[in-house]
Amino acid sequence: MGASITPRCRSAVRRTRPSATSATSPGAKCTTWLAALVPQRPRPFLQTIVDVVPTRTVFGRVCLLGDAAFVVRPHTAGATAKAARDATTLARALKRAGRNVDAGLSGFQKMQIEFGRGLVDYGVALGRRWAA
Ligand SMILES: Cc1cc2nc3c(=O)[nH]c(=O)nc-3n(C[C@H](O)[C@H](O)[C@H](O)COP(=O)(O)OP(=O)(O)OC[C@H]3O[C@@H](n4cnc5c(N)ncnc54)[C@H](O)[C@@H]3O)c2cc1C
């Protein structure tokens, strides 16, 4: 959810210096651009980035798909594909299970959580690499 940037946050970004990282790293360049850009905008906003990793996505005959199940970082560029994958995985799992819907849902949950965790971990690893 986007939120207006507070004066405190604006001042923190203004004070940001790339000294914590190598001056030539992509992270340092990005920090420098951001520090220059944010104070220039009359009404900047913040988008918080969170990693959501559930331990289960199936609750009886209800299951969570897409963003409702996992939230992955934007730079994975994989959230929409994951939502579509969730849907096709669910359809296949239910088809395979036939009348045993609970077994189908359970199998779906296992596959979904494994894939979702992998994508979340990938987003975190990419972020760390860029910040280094
Ligand atoms: C600014 C932005 C940029 C993005 N860029 C990318 C990108 O480049 N690549 C990428 O892969 N992903 C991107 N994403 C993420 C991507 O949009 C989501 O991962 C994807 O849309 C998730 O699909 P979903 O079906 O789970 O949820 P959604 O697409 O959010 O669909 C949920 C639907 O449920 C509806 N809804 C909500 N509450 C109710 C209710 N109570 N009753 C009925 N309907 C309801 C909503 O109106 C919405 O239509 C971006 C997201 C944002 C916000």
Q: Are residues 81 and 113 in the same domain?
A: yes
Q: Are residues 82 and 116 in the same domain?
A: yes
Instruction: Round to whole Å and give the CA distance between 49 and 82.
Output: 17
Q: Are residues 123 and 64 in the same domain?
A: yes
Instruction: Round to whole Å and give the CA distance between 69 and 55.
Output: 10
Task: Judge contact between 76 and 123, C-beta under 8 A.
Answer: yes
Instruction: Round to whole Å and give the CA distance between 86 and 111.
Output: 9
Pure H helices in 1-132 = 7-15, 26-37, 79-97, 101-131
Cα of 67 vs centre of ligand 1, distance in Å, is 7
78 lines ligand 1 (CB under 6 A): yes
- Nearest CA to 73 out of 13, 33, 114, 125 is that of 125
5 contact partners, CB below 8 Å, separation of at least 6: 13, 38, 44, 45, 46
Domains: count for the chain: 2
In a domain, 49, yes or no: no
For ligand 1, atom 24, the nearest C-alpha belongs to 66
83 lines ligand 1 (CB under 6 A): yes
List, for residues 50-78, the tens digit of each pLDDT value.
888 999 999 999 999 999 999 999 999 99
Give the model's pLDDT for residue 37.
82
Residue 44 has φ and ψ, to the nearest 5°, of: -70, 160
In a domain, 110, yes or no: yes
Cα of 119 vs centre of ligand 1, distance in Å, is 17
Confidence of residue 45 (pLDDT cuts 50, 70, 90): confident
Q: Is the pTM of this model over 0.85?
A: no
In a domain, 47, yes or no: no
79 lines ligand 1 (CB under 6 A): yes
52 lines ligand 1 (CB under 6 A): no
Cα of 69 vs centre of ligand 1, distance in Å, is 12
